[in-house]
């Protein structure tokens, strides 16, 4: 393990906060600015060691109130919609890269105002818009057909994927004006997956690589995970930099906010139905939809697997969706109304995927920094009704 990673992990392990005791109203997200900044510093060190540029993937984390604490580590942002692009341009700065499965013609003028780099998902759209965007850096998203993601919903290289142009469909094409190639096939992956993908890209698109001004390796790199193989990542990327003159980009999203925030919720009711059931004021369906989509089981501080501790409960949310369940957890003490629970690692994807199904309010957002907590945003009825008509 490299010294920079050892130091990063040690500093993170030493950071202890009693989130349940903070003066906040529940349910709420608490963004730990100290940890977000630590992630950013480490990602910046990786970028310098690998001689690459890092972009913040706004699809994973877009809480712009804390951008000032992290932006120095990044070359800019990457987006997939007009509103994300504008947010990156106005609130973050630097380069703004855009990819869309299909660009709409009536939005191109806005994209051109905000974006420096474009990645097209089809040759037809590249040919359609390259004239109007001749003063921007244009690229193609390619599909290396290298499957690395276990969950099909998140696998851009699954059979029949709508994302990326395969090598067979590039054969003989007019590529005049193509400055870069963009590939993305990872999700919560380690560096070995990137090494295999790089080999696949070289095999399928090796004839194009020497001509490119930039190569975008996409996102899904779990850089700030405890067991991430940073040394392999750096070695893989440096070999590419030595072989090809192109600028290399990475687009980590989840890694930016990994372990950088929590969701604090409160037990509202407890009862029995084929085991203990606890209703909390946070909803999996509306406030952490990846719990149902991915799916995954969030970690709760002080809780364990079912039956690992004395009292086991199925935790459910307040919506009328029958499946609005967070999961089954065990606790050393009985749960009672008013008990606060802290769900870890809730800064990424939860905020950006929030919804107001059933009229459930969006959780308040707080920032914790250097021992102090401050309210960033509280939501109410106007936020619910304003998006309906």
340-365 per-position pLDDT tens digit: 999 999 999 999 999 999 999 999 99
Residue 138 lies in a domain: yes
Same domain, 235 and 373: no
Same domain, 132 and 193: yes
- C-beta of residue 60 within 8 angstroms of C-beta of residue 255: no
- Give counts: helices (H), strands (E), the chain: 14, 16
- Helical pair 3-13 and 33-50, crossing angle rounded to 10 deg: 180
Same domain, 224 and 92: yes
Question: Is residue 283 pLDDT above 90, yes or no?
Answer: yes
CATH of the domain at 374: 2.40.37.10
DSSP 300: B
Residue with tokens 């509202």, as numbered in its chain: 268
Same domain, 61 and 87: yes
Same domain, 225 and 317: no
pLDDT digits (tens, 9 = 90+) for 133-148: 999 999 999 999 999 9
pLDDT for the residue 153: 87
pLDDT for the residue 293: 87
pLDDT digits (tens, 9 = 90+) for 196-254: 999 999 999 999 999 999 999 999 999 999 999 999 999 999 999 999 989 999 999 99
Closest by CA to 42, choosing from 230, 217, 190, 191, is: 230
Residue 299 lies in a domain: yes
Residue 70 lies in a domain: yes
> Could you give the CA distance from residue 26 to residue 179 in angstroms, rounded to a whole number?
48
The residue from 255, 273, 291 where one domain ends is: 255
Residue 213 lies in a domain: yes
Residue 238 lies in a domain: yes
Residue 25 lies in a domain: no
Question: Cα 337 to the chain's mean position, in Å?
Answer: 33
The residue from 208, 227, 255 where one domain ends is: 255
> Could you give the CA distance from residue 372 to residue 365 in angstroms, rounded to a whole number?
14
The residue from 255, 288, 312 where one domain ends is: 255
> Could you give the CA distance from residue 292 to residue 237 in angstroms, rounded to a whole number?
35
Residue 327 lies in a domain: yes
Residues of the chain with pLDDT > 70, as a percent, come to 100
Question: Is residue 151 pLDDT above 90, yes or no?
Answer: no
Could you tell me the residue range of the domain that residue 302 belongs to? 261-385
pLDDT for the residue 372: 96
Same domain, 305 and 344: yes
Please, which residues bridge with residue 95 across strands? 76
Question: Cα 316 to the chain's mean position, in Å?
Answer: 25
pLDDT for the residue 7: 97
pLDDT digits (tens, 9 = 90+) for 83-120: 999 999 999 999 999 999 999 999 999 999 999 999 99
Same domain, 294 and 342: yes
- For residue 46, name the pLDDT band (cuts at 50, 70, 90): very high
Same domain, 160 and 75: yes
Same domain, 320 and 218: no
- The conformational region for residue 48 under phi > 0 = left, psi -120 to 50 = alpha, else beta, is alpha
Residue 296 lies in a domain: yes
Same domain, 193 and 312: no
- For residue 326, name the pLDDT band (cuts at 50, 70, 90): very high
Same domain, 187 and 275: no
Same domain, 215 and 275: no
What domain count does the chain have? 2
CATH of the domain at 238: 3.20.20.10
- C-beta of residue 351 within 8 angstroms of C-beta of residue 61: yes
Distances (CA, A) of 81 to 99, 239, 373: 8, 33, 32
> Could you give the CA distance from residue 82 to residue 86 in angstroms, rounded to a whole number?
6
């Amino acid at each position: 393990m490299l010294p920079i990673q050892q130091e990063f992990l040690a500093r993170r392990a030493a950071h202890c906060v009693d989130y349940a005791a903070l003066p906040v109203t529940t349910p709420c997200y608490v963004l730990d600015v100290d940890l977000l900044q630590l992630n950013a510093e480490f990602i910046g060190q990786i970028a310098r060691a690998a001689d690459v540029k890092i972009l913040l993937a706004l699809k994973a984390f877009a809480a712009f109130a804390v951008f000032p604490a992290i932006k120095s580590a990044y070359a800019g942002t990457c987006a997939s919609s007009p509103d994300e692009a504008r947010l990156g341009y106005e609130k973050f700065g630097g380069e703004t890269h855009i990819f869309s499965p299909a660009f709409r013609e009536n939005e191109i003028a806005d994209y051109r105002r905000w974006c420096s780099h474009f990645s097209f998902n089809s040759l037809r759209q590249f040919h359609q818009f390259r004239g109007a965007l001749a003063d921007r850096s244009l690229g193609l998203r390619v599909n290396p057909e290298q499957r690395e993601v276990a969950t099909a919903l998140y696998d851009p290289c699954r059979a029949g994927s709508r994302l990326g142009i395969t090598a067979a469909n590039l054969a003989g094409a007019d590529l005049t004006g193509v400055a870069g190639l963009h590939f993305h096939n990872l999700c919560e992956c380690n560096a070995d997956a990137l090494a295999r993908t790089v080999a696949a890209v070289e095999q399928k698109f090796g004839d194009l690589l020497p001509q490119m001004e930039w190569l975008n390796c996409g996102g899904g790199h779990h850089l700030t995970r405890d067991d991430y193989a940073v040394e392999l990542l750096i070695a893989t990327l440096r070999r590419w930099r030595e072989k090809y003159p192109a600028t290399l980009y990475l687009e980590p999203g989840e890694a930016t906010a990994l372990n950088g925030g929590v969701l604090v919720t409160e037990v509202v009711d407890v009862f029995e139905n084929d085991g203990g059931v606890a209703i909390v004021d946070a909803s999996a369906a509306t406030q952490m939809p990846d719990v149902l989509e991915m799916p995954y089981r969030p970690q709760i501080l002080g809780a364990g697997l079912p039956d690992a501790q004395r009292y086991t409960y199925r935790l459910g949310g307040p919506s009328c969706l029958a499946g609005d369940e967070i999961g089954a957890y065990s606790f050393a003490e009985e749960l009672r109304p008013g008990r606060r629970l802290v769900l870890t690692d809730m800064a990424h994807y939860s905020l950006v995927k929030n919804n107001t199904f059933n009229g459930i309010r969006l959780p308040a957002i707080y920032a914790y920094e250097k021992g102090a907590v401050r309210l960033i945003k509280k939501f109410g009825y106007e936020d619910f009704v304003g998006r309906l008509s």
